[in-house]
Structures are given as structure tokens and as C-alpha cells.
Structure 1
């Protein structure tokens, strides 16, 4: 009789992908599984059947030069701390046996090879089997990334699209983003990111061993998303032109960025800003199996001297001056990852801040976190990592100083504006979730879900200015939208029993979200008379023709300075706001009957709200819906004119998917966006 040998090994890919919640990685050539749970392989033997009394099988699992050898037993008892392999005895076919392989719950993330060795009475026959990829497992209770609710696992691991929140807290902008974690090649690129990190290049054995710990992985990824210290993914740029690359505002998803990085031989992709860094990091962490979400902090402080105070300077006419290294970003975007912190104690478990935008060094490199959100709220600045820096981002005080030359005319202190609103995408819904109370002790209860679209939201005490003689309040009448005047009201109160003649200075400057304002786009000056204890209301407006160049990602800093002509006393009130861009509207035909591999139709419509004709390029994309991108050229569209464009798409996978469209205008520095969620049902 011919001796026993292995003819073939079947990795049972479809069964294992479904069991491990990795079926959307089906485009990968390798089997993708999660740690702490068994996966099944089937052997096809030849020569003779397997004899349990005289034959045995051993499996050697290898990660780099690390390896473990385990015998295949008949005991189904699994271990959470050791590799284990056992033969399926319930349906034992001695010519085609099934073997289950289970990794420990603390196994390292990476691409493994494994080898089967068959031992007979006098011979050993080897067969090298292809590789498998092992990820963290948020479905496994013993894994330190375990998150207990299925809807959160769906959102923070499996959802391949989302919303990034920008603009200002009172006029919040929802930007659609495609995380693309299941697109072809993205999984392999994310694993290669770990391979080319300085930690791996310096000591491969230590890096492989440390990859069992999400704290370690998250610090490596945070540093590798930017390229300041390594061959990282993105090069940041916040000023000047973007001719050497792509304007950060034009990116719509992580897949294009990661693909370009890999195809260039891991040269940095140009260019990124905070929301791009954060969104790409979210993709990488979800791929690796670590729950992740993108977070926006409105009025985010960058405290360069660690004194928890940000100084802002204004001229006596209300023009903001660039006099301080400290800054307030209208918004800043980072990520949170969910994990237990066994290094800090269970009270620090849960969401951890990680920030891949290169701002300050941590441990000698540009990365930030993981900083427990609970530690930030409780000001536990004695703990690792980078808690003082993140604490300042959400809690620093602002000192606003009005100058005449070098002479200080007035100082206003604001303890409320920084970190005024912190949000992330709500689980299962395309809207923001208010998580401000997770980071700081808020003075009054806030609802869990809010759109913050009302101009009544009090996110800035700088709207108010006060002195011994006067009290000034600046308010926008409603959230500004493109094509309509920006209307605002100033209320000034004479607090004294003497009449006053007051000179009034209005000034509006264009600004980027992370910089001091630049050019004045509108100003007005005048005088008013105030009777003793009198209150007056002044109403002003900025016309569309005066602000249209800053619609979109740019913002406006609006200030009013009231000067008492008798005492030279000055009072400042200011507000920073964005002007909401118009939206593209997307309608889907037969919304309730969408299934994979069946052609569908969508219609994108746009109406020009501007005072001049516009033209540009319309781009439509959607992970799991469209292969690549579809482009259309939009001919000049007169003011008030509308356009309608039909597109067809064929879904490739089930689930909630995002169809997104963007219109890049040729004659304006602005991009119009829109999105529609699409539910693809099983056929």
C-alpha cells in the first residue's frame, strides 16, 4: 500500500471569512481571520487514510522568524493564551480530515505562513501551505479591543464610509468620506505600513512580538500616517499652492491615498491636512481590527508653551493680528480607538485619542496618543501618552488683547470657547453625536445627538465684550449660506449714567481653519450716540459678491470694536463663521430593491446659487457600488440655473454603502458635495 501523504489543503475561505466577519476582504488572495477564534482547513490525503493510532500531524505557524509548533489533537478545548489545533471528530473523514486552528487572543497582528508536517511510523512528509492574515478581534470578549455592542462593531470596524465634521460648531459641515478598507489592495497596504515602520526595520523580532498590543500598534500607525520621521503615508501642507500634489480638500476617500502611496514605492502622498490624516488612520485601524472613529474638536487650541493659555491680538479697528505662536483652529480632527489599557488600569479603558497630524513630538517622533478620554476629562496629566497636549486642545483659556501699536487697550478672558463642541458620527445614522461631555465637565446637560445648526448655540463668549462703560453683543441672525447676505446684529448697552459718543469699527477677514486671518474682505466705520443707560441695536450685512471667494473650506473672522470717544475705552466682540456651500442632491431609483450585481440608476442635481456662471467637473464614487470613479464635465451654468446628471452603478457587496458626488468648480476655489446612503440587500 502506498504511504500517507497530503495531496491538497483547502483553506475553506468562504466559510472562514463569514465566521470571522471578514467576508468583505474576499478580494484578498490570503485568508483573513481574527485572533482568539478557530478557523477550519480541510486536507485531501492520498496513499491511504489517516490512522489516529500511528499517524500524527503537526502545524508550524510562522510570523517572520518567530514560530510556534503545535500538534493536532482530538481535544476541542481551546486556549486563550496558546495556539491550538485539533481535528474535527464529529464529521471525521480519514481521507479528507478537517483541522481547526485557533490563535491566542493576544496573538500578534500580521501576515502568517504555516506548514503542515505529517508523521507516519517511519517517515515525515511536509507541505508548505499558503499564508493567512491575522487581525484583532473586537467580537472576542477576551481581546483587549472587544467592544460589547454589535451596532458599534458594525459602525467602527465594518462601515466603509462615514462623515467628517468641519466648519464651525454653529454651522457644521458634514463631509462624506469613503474609508475604503475593503477595496482591493488596501488590506495589504495597511500591513505593509507596519512592515516599513522604523520600529520593524530597527528590530523585526521585537516589533512582531509587540504587535499583540493595540497600544503599541496605534502609536506606530499614528507616526506612519505622516511622513515627518519615516516613509509615512502623507505629507502635510497648510499654506501656499498645491501644484506638486493634490489640494487636501479634493480627497474623497482613503483608498486613492493608500493606493498612490503603495504604487509610488511608499513615497509620501501630497498633500494632507488634519481631516485627511485622521480619516486615513481610521481606515488603517479598522483594517487591523481595532475599533476606530473620527472625532472633530471645534475651537481646538494648539498650546505651544504648555501654559494652557492662548493669546489672540486685535488692532483697535477690529483686525485680527498674527502676533502669537499659539493658535486656535476652528476645528481639528483626530481619531479615537477603543481598547483596554492594562498598562494604566481598567479605569482608563475605552476610547483613546490618537492624532496622526504632525504637531508636536511624542517620544521623539510626530505622533500623539493613545491618550484615554477619561484621563483627559479628569486632567490626569501624570499618565501616558500626551494627555497634557490633548487636555489643552479642549480646555485652554483664551486671552483676547486689543492693541494700539504696542499699547494694550483692553484684555478679555474666555474660559468657554476652546473645545466648545466635540463630535463624531452617530452609530448607524448620518448625523453628529455630541461627545463633549466625555472630554470635559460641561456646565449644563447637552443632548446626546444634535446638529448644532442653530445660530443660538452659544459656542463663543467672544460674541460678548464688556468694560466699565459698555456691553457689546455680536450675533449672526442665522447660519450663513452661499448666495444670501450674511446678516448680523450688534447690541450695545451704555452701562453708565452719562451720554456717550461711540466710534464703531466693523471688520471681516478671510481665514483658513488653522491659521490667523489674512485679508480684510469687508469693513465699515461710523459713529453712534448713546443716551445714559441706553441700549441700541445695529444691523449690518455682507453681500454675496463680497464673500463669494471664501465659500467652502475658508472661514470669516468678524469683529466689532466700540470706542468711547471721551474715555478712549474700547470693547471688542467677535465671531468666526463659515458660509455653507450649496449641496448636490442625489436620488436613487428603486431604492428598496437594490441587490448585488444588478444595475441601478442615480440622478445628481445641482442649482447654481452664485451671482455668476459656474462650470467644473462632477465626480461620482462609492466603495462597494462603483469601480473607480465616474467623471462628467459641467458646462457653464448661469446663476439660478440647474443641471441633472444620470449615472448607473452596479453594487458589488451587501450592506449600507455611501454614494458620493463632488463638483469641483473651475472658476472658484470651492468644491460642492453631496451623498446618499444606499442599502444593498442580499439577493
Structure 2
């Protein structure tokens, strides 16, 4: 009789991926998580399996590294071991076997080849069973990325959409984003990112062995999202001509970017800015099984000389000057990833800042982190990695000067402006969650610096939230704390600016002479007309400043504020939204009213990971002021869960993008 042969292998992909929380991945191979058994079924031929005569050994290969695992009769093994086992009732039919394989909770992430060796007295046969992709496991307590609450795992691992926050602390703009981790070929692109990294090319053996540690993985990914040192995913660009690529504001999801990068043999995709770098990194980390969320730091400092002081300079007319290498971005976006820090100790476990935007080098490469959020809060500047840089981004002081006759005179010190608000999408809702306190230890309020105010105070107040398509109305408030009448010169200046750069030229200014009595508060109204505001439409912000000069003493007081214009919104409604189920066509209605003073046109893009197979594009022609556009689209959900449908209208005659989104709960059948 013919000895034992293996006729058929079954990696039980559907059953395994359901139990491993990987069923959404559109992968050609089995996707499982470490520290958790997965099932393999064998159909036997020949004499059938006899434990007295036959020995089965699985061989798992990662590149040329491998581990050999003999199959044993066992209960589920400890989660720190490589193991293969079957249960006693598996031998009821000698022609079929059901086996379970288990990897350690610290096993390297990667794509493994699986072999089965059949040994007996007279034979040694080797069968190629197939391959599987192994990910980190936030559901496993022994894994260093373990996240205890199911609601957190749903949001920070499984959720394939999110919101990115931009603008200013007083007017937060929410931008919908598709992380797209379940879209076709995205998992393969993320695994390729590890394979083409400099660390892997330099020493593949060391790289594979290090991939069990999420700290190591996050540093590799942080460097590979930008292309400064390697075949990274994105090329950054913050100003100038974007015509040979895609303007960063036009991206709506990670899938297009990662797919283009992989399909072009790893040529960097043009172009990214901080939120694009962060959102793509969030996708890669979630694919790899490392919990991740996108975080925005409003008024983020780039302290070039590491003295924790940012210096800003204004002219006597209120124009901001380019006199400093230091800068404050109106917002900066990075990610936090959840992991244990065995290199630092338990106190620094939890959320870690990882920033893929290329700003400064870390150990010779453009990357940042993982910096423990708790270490930042505790000001543990010696803790790895890059804690001092992250600390400065939210804790630097701002010293403001007015420059007159080439002499700078300090008029203000602000200890609260930098890191004014740090937020991320909250669990299960579309609202921002304020996480500033996790970064910044609570301190007593700083005393207001009045050294140069000469009894005057000044502030800026907006009559209403500045909106695109409207005049900008604001009031300058001046208070005379002294005992004498004063004659004041008021100089108001508005400059357009990009969020990451110093302002450009002045586009509007106003000058007045006013008188103010002792202990009087004066309100000076201003209006920037719509035709002057058109340069600010789009992703730009405005640096608005007022200088109040005492004619007699020539002392000056300054107030300034950066602000963004709120955009109109695309409204999305889903009829019968309580009964949305997978594999069935549903409808959504999109509506947008033109609030601009001119007709508009452009292209409406509608996308939704897990809802639409391909992006829908609709051309909008000459929508008149005050008129409403309505469109009905169809979508068919792939799977149950909370999904997001989002729309963006890219205007052709006004440099802006109008957005809207709707979360949809897809029920199980």
C-alpha cells in the first residue's frame, strides 16, 4: 500500500479571517494575527495518518529564516510559542486531519511561506501548503500592541475612515478621509513598504528579526511614508507649482496613493503635506495591526535652534515680517500609535507620537518617533525617540517684536499659544476629542506680560465666523487703563498665508486716528470687502494684525490672529438609512447651495471605502449664486459596520474644494 500522501490543503481562509478579525482584507492569501491559533485542513491519501508511523513537521519561512514545528497532540499552547497541534478527535477519520498552527505574540510581521514535511521510516516528503500574512494582534493580551477595549479596537484598528482636523483652534475644519485598508492590493502595498525599506535592503536578516517590535516597525514606516531617504511613498511640497502631480488638498484617501506608489515600482507620489503623510501612515499601521489615530496640534512650533522660544516680528504698520528661521504652523498633523515601551518601562506604555512628515533627521533619517506621549507630558527629554522635538512643538514660548528703524522692541510673551489645542477623532462619533491634557501638564496660568503696554490693551473680535463668499467683519477693542486722554494711531493689516509658511504680501489694510478717554473702552469696527477676500478662498488662512500707537509716547501695542474661512458644505442624506445592509443597492442624495457671488462649476467626486467599488465623478456646470445642486447616487455595501460616504466638489473657477460626509451604519443580514 502507498505510504501517506497529502492530496489537498485548505487554509480555511474565511473561517480563520473571521476569528482573527481580518475578514475585511481583500487579500489573495490568508491573513492572520500573531499569538492566536489558525486552522489548516488536510485531505490524505495512501495509507492514511498513523501517529505510530508518521511524523508531521510544519516549516514556516520568512525569507530565508525559518522555524520547524512538529505537530503534537495538545491543547492550545502558550501564546509565546511556535506550535502545531491537533486534538484527539482529529483522528476519527484517518483520511482527513484538522490541525492548528500558532505563532508567538512577538513573532515578526511579514508574509510567511508554509511547508509540511511528512516523515516516516521510508520517506521524507515536502509539500508547499501556501502562504499567510502575519499581523500584530491588538486582541491578544501578550502582544505588545494589545488594546483592552473593543470600542478602541474598532476605532483605531478596524475603522477604514476618519476625520482630519485643520484650520485654527477657534474654527476647526473637519476633513473626511478614507484609510482604505480593505481595498484591493492595499495590504500587499503595505507589506511591500517593509520590503523596500533601507533597513531591509541593508540587512534583511536583522530586519526580519526586528519586525516583532512595533517600536522598530513604526520607525521604519515613519521614514518610508516620505521619500527623503528611500523609495518612500510620498514627496512633500508646500508651495509653488503642483501641475506635475496632485495638489495635496485634492487627495481624499490613502488607497489611491498607496496603489499608485506600488503600481509605479515604488516611485514617490506627488504631492503630500502633513495631513496626507499622517493619514497614509495611519492606513499602513492599521493594516499591520498596530492601533493608530491621526492627531492635530494647533499652533505647532518648529523650533530650529531648540531654545523653546519662537520669535515673531511685525512692522509698525502691522505687517508680519520674515525675520526668523523659527516658525509656527497653524496646525500640524501626525499620528499616535498604541504600544508597550519595554525599552522605557511601563510608565511610558500607551500612545506614542510618530510623525512621517519630513522635518528633522532622527538617527540619520527623516522620521520622528515613537515618542511616548507620557514622556512628553513629563518632559523626559532623554527618552527615546525624538521627545525633545515633539515637546517643543507644543510647549515653546512666543516672543513678539515690533521692528522700528531696524530696532526690535519686544511687545509680548505668550506661553499659551503654541499647542493651544491637540485633538483627534473621538471614539464612534464625528466630533473632535480634546487630548491636550495628555501632552501638557496642567500649570498655573502665566501672568500677562504688560511691560510695554503703557496702560493700553488691544484685542481682535470677529462679529461672526468668517465665511467664504462673504465680507469679513471684525472689531478692534482698545482699552485705556490710564488716567489721561490719548490720541491713537490704528494700523490694521491682513496678509494671506499657507498653514505651514509665513504670510505673503498684504492684501488689505486700514489706518485711522482715534481718541480715547481715561478708563474708556473703544470699539473700532472694520470690514474687509468680499472682492478683497477672494485671495483667501481655498486652503489659505489670513494673518490679521493691529498695531495701536500712542501719538504722544510713540509706544505701541499689538494684537494679531490667524483665521481660516469656513467653507459651505455638501449635505448627504440616505433615505431609509436604518435598513442599509450588505450586498444590496441603496441610494444617497447630495445637495449643495452656491453661497458665492459668482456662478461656479467643477467636478464632484463621491467615494466611500466599502460602499463604492469606484469613485463616482459628476461634472457640475455653471451653478448660479443662491441655486442648489442635487444629485442622487447608488451604493452597495460590501460588509457590515460603520462606513463613510464622502463628497468633494473641486471648483474650476475658484481655488477651493467643497466637502461633505455622512457616516452610514451597515447592518448584518
Give the TM-score of the pair, scaled to structure 1: 0.96
CA distance in 1, matches of 2:298, 2:204: 40
Asked if structure 1 preserves the Cα contact closer than 8 Å seen for 2:399 and 2:410, the reply is no
1:478 corresponds to which of 446, 464, 474:
464
Match of 1:55 in 2: 54
Asked if structure 1 preserves the Cα contact closer than 8 Å seen for 2:461 and 2:475, the reply is yes
For the pair 1:71 / 2:70, whether they are aligned, the reply is yes
Which has the larger displacement, 510-519 or 80-89?
80-89
Match of 2:633 in 1: 647
Task: Give aligned pairs, total.
Answer: 668
Match of 1:563 in 2: 549
Match of 1:303 in 2: 303
Shift of 1:634: 0.2
Describe the shift of the 1:161–1:245 C-alpha distance in structure 2 as closer, same or farther (beyond 3 A).
same
CA distance in 1, matches of 2:559, 2:526: 14
CA distance in 1, matches of 2:199, 2:668: 43
Tell me how large the CA RMSD over aligned residues is: 1.6
Match of 2:179 in 1: 179
2:643 corresponds to which of 654, 657, 680:
657
Asked if structure 1 preserves the Cα contact closer than 8 Å seen for 2:180 and 2:254, the reply is yes
Match of 2:504 in 1: 518
Match of 1:205 in 2: 205
Shift of 1:211: 0.3
Shift of 1:443: 4.8
Describe the shift of the 1:444–1:98 C-alpha distance in structure 2 as closer, same or farther (beyond 3 A).
farther
Asked if structure 2 preserves the Cα contact closer than 8 Å seen for 1:146 and 1:339, the reply is yes
Asked if structure 2 preserves the Cα contact closer than 8 Å seen for 1:225 and 1:356, the reply is yes
Asked if structure 2 preserves the Cα contact closer than 8 Å seen for 1:624 and 1:653, the reply is yes
Match of 1:637 in 2: 623
CA deviation profile, 1:378-431 (whole Å, cap 9, x unmatched): 100011110000000000000011112412244311100000000000011011
Match of 2:273 in 1: 273
Q: How does 1:234-383 map to 2 (within 5 A)?
A: 234-383=234-383
1:189 is paired with a residue whose SS is helix
Match of 1:45 in 2: 44
Asked if structure 1 preserves the Cα contact closer than 8 Å seen for 2:58 and 2:117, the reply is yes
1:23 is paired with a residue whose SS is coil
Unaligned 5+ runs, structure 2: none
1:480 is paired with a residue whose SS is coil
Match of 1:527 in 2: 513
Asked if structure 2 preserves the Cα contact closer than 8 Å seen for 1:463 and 1:574, the reply is no
Asked if structure 2 preserves the Cα contact closer than 8 Å seen for 1:463 and 1:575, the reply is no
* Structure 1 consecutive aligned stretches of length 4 or more whose deviation exceeds 3 Å: 442-445, 460-466
Match of 1:223 in 2: 223
Unaligned 5+ runs, structure 1: 446-459
Shift of 1:551: 2.4
Asked if structure 1 preserves the Cα contact closer than 8 Å seen for 2:411 and 2:558, the reply is no
1:484 is paired with a residue whose SS is coil
For the pair 1:31 / 2:30, whether they are aligned, the reply is yes
2:24 is paired with a residue whose SS is helix
CA distance in 2, matches of 1:210, 1:471: 58
CA distance in 2, matches of 1:581, 1:496: 42
CA distance in 1, matches of 2:154, 2:127: 38
Shift of 1:77: 4.1
Shift of 1:651: 1.2
CA distance in 1, matches of 2:405, 2:314: 10
1:505 corresponds to which of 480, 486, 491:
491
CA distance in 2, matches of 1:173, 1:289: 29
Asked if structure 2 preserves the Cα contact closer than 8 Å seen for 1:463 and 1:473, the reply is no
CA distance in 2, matches of 1:543, 1:185: 50
Describe the shift of the 1:392–1:87 C-alpha distance in structure 2 as closer, same or farther (beyond 3 A).
same
CA distance in 2, matches of 1:595, 1:502: 67
Match of 1:431 in 2: 431
Match of 2:110 in 1: 110
2:96 is paired with a residue whose SS is coil
Shift of 1:90: 3.2
CA deviation profile, 1:488-511 (whole Å, cap 9, x unmatched): 222112222222111101111110
CA deviation profile, 1:149-200 (whole Å, cap 9, x unmatched): 0000000000000000000110000000000001000000000000000000
CA distance in 2, matches of 1:591, 1:333: 33
CA distance in 2, matches of 1:550, 1:532: 38
Shift of 1:349: 0.3
CA deviation profile, 1:620-676 (whole Å, cap 9, x unmatched): 000001112110110101111111011111111211111000000001110000000
1:391 is paired with a residue whose SS is helix
Asked if structure 1 preserves the Cα contact closer than 8 Å seen for 2:496 and 2:535, the reply is no
CA distance in 1, matches of 2:282, 2:444: 31
1:199 is paired with a residue whose SS is helix
CA distance in 1, matches of 2:226, 2:455: 51
CA distance in 2, matches of 1:603, 1:306: 51
Asked if structure 2 preserves the Cα contact closer than 8 Å seen for 1:341 and 1:348, the reply is yes
Match of 1:101 in 2: 101
Match of 2:478 in 1: 492
Match of 1:388 in 2: 388
Asked if structure 2 preserves the Cα contact closer than 8 Å seen for 1:551 and 1:580, the reply is no
CA distance in 1, matches of 2:4, 2:89: 22
Shift of 1:125: 1.7
Asked if structure 2 preserves the Cα contact closer than 8 Å seen for 1:465 and 1:472, the reply is no
1:542 corresponds to which of 528, 539, 546:
528
CA distance in 1, matches of 2:464, 2:347: 43
CA deviation profile, 1:288-334 (whole Å, cap 9, x unmatched): 00000000000000000000000111000000111111000000000
